[in-house]
């Protein structure tokens, strides 16, 4: 009888752990998380590369955050050395941000959403896209964007990492003369657990094309050199390289003379990590 009780206790401890493993939630806010992409302007000469990464913790208002750095090539406004302008934290599948030197936190992502749920989106004082928490009145609703979750899709990355992708559609609303409101589906957006937005700037909860002269293209996202996401165009480039030679390439598709002393390189279509 004693052995049965012990076995039952062990099962109780194992079962929750197994359930959590099956859920396989990928955290976004992880030290070493890195995003690489491009900023695309309205003309061909306005195309710039950006690097975004999380490194080092900090405490703001008694809460623990990771500092978020950016390097970008946007002309005179670019940062050739890493600049830290915000910090991120994650709790209960929600990703929060806060500007360095500010005391007001904002919500970037809520990965608790279910199919059919809707979220109100707007911008904070710094013009950054955020999710608006709490109930809005009719006047406030007309000034923000509404996104609706249409589908949750399970995908596997090139390195076998399971990622949930959340497919959203933006609803545009127009109030008619009689007071009625017409809603129409507009742009789509995709969130990926552990990555963020994959068809926009990674920390944009919703498309900013209506209020920004720049569009964004996420090329890669990796967690301490463990690749989570590579854009389809990058995959195609790697495939072409594989069929032509045994040369070495970096993740941007540039040919390398030698394998790096530390980092990631590609040879014959395979990724190699030197630690």
Give residue-wise pLDDT tens across range 158-185: 667 778 899 999 877 666 777 777 777 7
- What CA–CA distance (Å, rounded) separates 37 from 161? 20
Instruction: Give the pLDDT score at 161.
Output: 74
Q: Tell me what pLDDT residue 107 has.
A: 96
CA distances from 50 to 217, 239, 244 (A): 10, 24, 29
Asked if residues 259 and 229 have their Cβ atoms less than 8 Å apart, the reply is no
pLDDT at 250: 61
Pick from 30-34, 125-129, 213-217, 250-254: least confident: 250-254
What are the helix (H) ranges across the chain? 2-23, 138-141, 232-244
What are the residues whose beta carbons fall under 8 Å from the beta carbon of 143, sequence distance 6 or more? 122
End-to-end CA distance of the chain: 51
**Is residue 9 over pLDDT 50?**
no
Helices (H), 176-273: 232-244
Identify the CA nearest to 195 among candidates 30, 2, 6.
30
Please tell me whether residue 261 adopts helix, strand or coil conformation: coil
Round to whole Å and give the CA distance between 228 and 1.
48
Q: Any long-range contacts for 213-216 (C-beta under 8 Å, 24+ apart)?
A: 213/41, 213/42, 214/39, 214/40, 214/41, 214/46, 215/39, 215/40, 216/37, 216/38, 216/39, 216/40
Question: Predicted confidence band at 6 (pLDDT cuts at 50, 70, 90)?
Answer: very low
- The arithmetic mean of pLDDT across residues 116-126, rounded, is 87
Q: Distance between CA atoms of 172 and 183, rounded to whole angstroms?
A: 6
Percent of the chain with pLDDT strictly greater than 90: 28
Residue among 216, 166, 231 at smallest CA distance from 194: 166
What percentage of the chain has pLDDT greater than the value 70?
63
Give the global pTM: 0.71
In sequence order, the β-bridge partners of residue 83 are 70
pLDDT, one tens digit per residue, over 187-235 is: 788 999 999 998 888 998 887 655 556 678 888 998 887 888 888 754 3
pLDDT of residue 248: 67
- Asked whether the beta carbons of 161 and 26 are under 8 A apart, the reply is yes
How does residue 19 score in pLDDT terms, banded at 50, 70 and 90? very low
């Amino acid at each position: 009888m004693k052995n049965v009780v012990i076995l039952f206790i062990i099962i109780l401890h194992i079962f929750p752990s197994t359930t959590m493993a099956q859920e396989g939630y990928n955290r976004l806010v992880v030290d070493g998380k890195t995003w690489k992409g491009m900023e695309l302007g309205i003309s061909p000469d306005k195309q710039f590369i950006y690097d975004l990464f999380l490194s080092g913790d900090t405490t703001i208002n008694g809460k623990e955050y990771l500092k978020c750095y950016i390097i970008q090539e946007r002309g005179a406004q670019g940062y050739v050395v890493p600049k830290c302008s915000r910090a991120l934290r994650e709790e209960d599948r929600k990703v929060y941000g806060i500007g360095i030197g500010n005391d007001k936190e904002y919500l970037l992502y809520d990965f608790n959403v279910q199919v059919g749920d809707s979220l109100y989106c707007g911008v904070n004082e710094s013009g950054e896209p955020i999710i608006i928490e709490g109930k809005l009145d009719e006047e406030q609703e007309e000034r923000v964007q509404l996104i609706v979750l249409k589908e949750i899709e399970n995908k596997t990355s090139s390195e076998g990492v399971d990622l949930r992708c959340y497919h959203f559609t933006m609803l545009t609303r127009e109030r008619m003369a009689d007071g009625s409101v017409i809603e129409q589906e507009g742009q789509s957006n995709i969130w990926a657990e552990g990555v963020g937005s994959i068809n926009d700037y990674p920390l944009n909860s919703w498309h900013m094309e209506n209020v920004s002269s720049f569009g964004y293209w996420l090329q890669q996202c990796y967690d301490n050199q463990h690749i989570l996401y590579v854009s389809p165009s990058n995959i195609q480039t790697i495939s072409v390289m594989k069929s032509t030679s045994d040369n070495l390439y970096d993740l941007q598709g540039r040919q390398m003379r030698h394998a790096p002393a530390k980092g990631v390189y590609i040879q014959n279509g395979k990724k190699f990590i030197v630690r």
